[in-house]
Amino acid sequence: MTKAITRTDFKFPDQKGIYRGKVRDVYNIGDKYLLMVASDRISAFDVVLPEGIPYKGQVLNQIAAMFLDRVRDIVPTWNIASPDPNVTVGYRCEPYPVEMIVRGYLTGSSWRTYKSGARNICGIALPEGMKEHQRFDKPLITPTTKAEHGRHDEDISGDEIISSGLIPEKEYRKLEEYAMKLFLRGSEIAADHGLILVDTKYEFGKRNGDICLIDEIHTPDSSRYFYAEGYEDRFARGEQQKQLSKEFVREWLMVNGFQGRAGEKVPEMTPAFVTEISDRYIELYEKITGTKFARAEAEDPVSRIERNIMRFLPELK
């Protein structure tokens, strides 16, 4: 029987604290390392939905681990090892207070903003007459501030980040450089597997004075992918693109009257819909990695995770 991982509550040696994000449970080990458990929780519109999605955490963790290892020549990364399919262990870094969003196409929230009449996103002017899913002449960097728990991230321009003192100019420009190089690398890897990396987010921190890439990258939670085959024909006909991301979950919620606003109720997630979401995540894993997804033992996944972490922790000493 497959069980979704919706919460962990471990007590590890030298554990200093735990932070629960929308998806990950992050354990502080000795103020030196972070132990990140990717749960099967799923969020949309900054709300954690009531049902977990089996294998979603494993998909996110293993895709992120693969990409982190493939970008070390661009920027130092926080991760050290993945002792369990749902776990990554790495260095504790001091995070920057912004997320670097890179957009290659006018889609998702950027399209909704454009459709409402806005022609400026994060200080970047957009031309009239653009269509949904249209490719930008060059990728745009549209940062957001990191919101407090339960609040929405807010768009901010690079100039505002610098002028407000959030990040020194020299460091912020380096973040832009890294973000663009990472997006181009991710796009190349996606293209090798018949996909288009549409948009994504990157988070950075500092360790011993050096900038490091932190958190996940290029997963279906942090990124949007289109199938490359048929993109041009669908765009010419004004049709929706075939995509691999959790955008279809957001669209399903909107159709059913939920966008995270006060008073709105999350619609019922049937077992069939939960299975559909799980299958979509697994499909993206296999598409982007080019390998068959191997389901981890799921009868008692929390105990499995704890065993594997306890076996690994002595290696950090």
Residues 244-261: pLDDT tens digits?
878 889 889 999 999 999
- Local confidence band at 147 (pLDDT 50, 70, 90 cut-offs): low
Global confidence as pTM: 0.90
Instruction: For residue 250, tell me if it sits in a domain.
Output: no
User: Taking 90 as the threshold, does the pLDDT of residue 62 lie above it?
Assistant: yes
User: Taking 50 as the threshold, does the pLDDT of residue 168 lie above it?
Assistant: yes
Residue predicted with more confidence, 243 or 17: 17
Q: Are residues 224 and 294 in the same domain?
A: no
Instruction: For residue 126, tell me if it sits in a domain.
Output: yes
Instruction: For residue 265, tell me if it sits in a domain.
Output: no
pLDDT on residue 118: 94
Instruction: For residue 201, tell me if it sits in a domain.
Output: yes
Q: Are residues 216 and 175 in the same domain?
A: yes
User: The CATH number of the domain where 215 resides is what?
Assistant: 3.30.470.20
Portion of the chain with pLDDT greater than 70, in percent: 98
State which of 227, 244, 261 marks the end of a domain: 244
User: Taking 70 as the threshold, does the pLDDT of residue 54 lie above it?
Assistant: yes
Structurally, the chain folds into a number of domains equal to 2
Q: Are residues 37 and 73 in the same domain?
A: yes
User: Taking 80 as the threshold, does the pLDDT of residue 2 lie above it?
Assistant: no
Q: Are residues 205 and 118 in the same domain?
A: yes
Instruction: For residue 259, tell me if it sits in a domain.
Output: no
Q: Which domain holds residue 221?
A: 95-244
Portion of the chain with pLDDT greater than 90, in percent: 87
User: The CATH number of the domain where 299 resides is what?
Assistant: 3.30.200.20
Q: Are residues 278 and 192 in the same domain?
A: no
Q: Are residues 184 and 59 in the same domain?
A: no
Q: Are residues 239 and 103 in the same domain?
A: yes
- Local confidence band at 175 (pLDDT 50, 70, 90 cut-offs): very high
Q: Are residues 113 and 232 in the same domain?
A: yes
Q: Are residues 26 and 133 in the same domain?
A: no
Q: Are residues 280 and 202 in the same domain?
A: no
Instruction: For residue 287, tell me if it sits in a domain.
Output: yes
Mean pLDDT of 223-227: 94
Mind listing the pLDDT tens digit for each residue in 194-215?
999 999 999 999 999 999 999 9
Q: Are residues 108 and 220 in the same domain?
A: yes
State which of 225, 244, 263 marks the end of a domain: 244
Residue predicted with more confidence, 3 or 70: 70
Instruction: For residue 251, tell me if it sits in a domain.
Output: no
Residue predicted with more confidence, 304 or 1: 304
- Local confidence band at 161 (pLDDT 50, 70, 90 cut-offs): very high
Cβ neighbours, 10 Å, residue 207: 15
User: Taking 50 as the threshold, does the pLDDT of residue 150 lie above it?
Assistant: no
Instruction: For residue 9, tell me if it sits in a domain.
Output: no
pLDDT on residue 123: 92
Q: Are residues 237 and 170 in the same domain?
A: yes
Residue from 112, 61, 77 nearest 202 by CA: 77
> For all residues of the chain together, what is the average pLDDT?
94
